[in-house]
């Protein structure tokens, strides 16, 4: 596990040692090539079962590598989910608004240790006997749902801080709801809450 983690980190610094004529492909490396290599390294070395290595169940994973794997996937999924619930909480439709409020307040009122216990121990008891879901997957889903509520509140703060004139200006240009938020509202709101989002992500890694 630690070997795989070290290799993934080392590959991340490859771009700094590229020749000048190759640095124009740096974005291509980090967006496409590096994630594919990192996935293969993690899958074949951490999982085992290849290169003569013994197969390792996810329940036996641990250490810093597991922390970063869980944090990485949770960060990817909790941010867009939190954005959806932040917009839902400010929606003019009562059903969407109150569903978003109930979701956010429920998850913010539950301790993370309870979420982890329920996902890893209690949740399998409610599933059919022939249905199997890996414990690591259950934990990632649970933490994602938990952190999405905190991301939603941070993003909602950014949305509320924008003056009403920004919404009116976008509507005067003939923009619909989604186009207005994608091109006008969200870029400004997310810029304002970068410190809050960073704080939420750091808290996730520490937890």
Burial of 112 (0-12, 13-18, 19+ CB in 10 A): middle
pLDDT reading at 1 higher than 60: no
Q: How confident is the model at residue 121 (pLDDT cuts 50, 70, 90)?
A: confident
How far does Cα 106 stand from its chain's mean position? Answer: 19
| Mean per-residue pLDDT of the chain | 81
pLDDT of residue 197: 86
Rounded Cα distance between 205 and 72, Å, is: 9
pLDDT, tens digit (0-9, with 9 covering 90-100), for 124-138: 788 777 777 888 888
Rounded to an integer, what distance in angstroms lies between the CA atom of residue 74 and that of residue 60? 20
Q: Which tens digits make up the pLDDT trace of 31-74?
A: 677 667 776 776 666 666 566 667 777 777 777 777 877 888 88
Whether the pLDDT of residue 105 is over 90: the answer is yes
What's the predicted TM-score (pTM) here?
Answer: 0.76
C-alpha gyration radius of the chain: 21
Q: Report the alpha-carbon distance of residue 171 to residue 173 in Å, rounded.
A: 5
Model confidence at 96, pLDDT cuts 50, 70, 90, reads very high
CA 94 to chain centroid: 27
Superfamily name with CATH number, domain 70-206? MetI-like (1.10.3720.10)
- Domain spans of the chain? 1-56, 70-206
pLDDT at 57: 74
137-169 tens-digit pLDDT: 888 999 999 999 999 999 999 888 888 888 888
Q: Is 96 helix (H, G, I), strand (E, B) or coil?
A: helix
pLDDT at 145: 93
Residue 30: pLDDT band by 50, 70, 90 thresholds? low
């Amino acid at each position: 596990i630690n070997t795989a983690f070290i290799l993934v980190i080392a590959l991340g610094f490859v771009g700094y040692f590229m020749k000048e004529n190759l640095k124009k492909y740096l974005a291509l490396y980090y967006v496409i090539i590096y994630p594919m290599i990192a996935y293969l390294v993690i899958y074949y070395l951490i999982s085992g079962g290849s290169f003569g290595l013994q197969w390792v169940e996810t329940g036996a994973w641990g250490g810093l590598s597991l922390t970063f794997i869980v944090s990485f996937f949770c960060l990817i999924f909790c941010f867009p989910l939190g954005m959806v619930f932040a917009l839902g909480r400010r929606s003019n439709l009562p059903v969407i608004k109150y569903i978003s409020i109930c979701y956010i307040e429920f998850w913010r009122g539950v301790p993370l240790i309870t979420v982890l216990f329920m996902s890893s121990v209690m949740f399998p008891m409610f599933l059919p006997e022939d249905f199997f879901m890996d414990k690591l997957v259950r934990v990632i889903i649970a933490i994602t749902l938990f952190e999405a509520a905190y991301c939603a509140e941070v993003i909602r703060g950014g949305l509320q801080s924008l003056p009403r004139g920004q919404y009116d200006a976008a509507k005067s240009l003939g923009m619909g709801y989604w186009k207005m938020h994608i091109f006008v509202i969200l870029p400004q709101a997310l810029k304002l809450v970068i410190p809050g989002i960073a704080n939420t992500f750091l808290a996730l890694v520490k937890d």
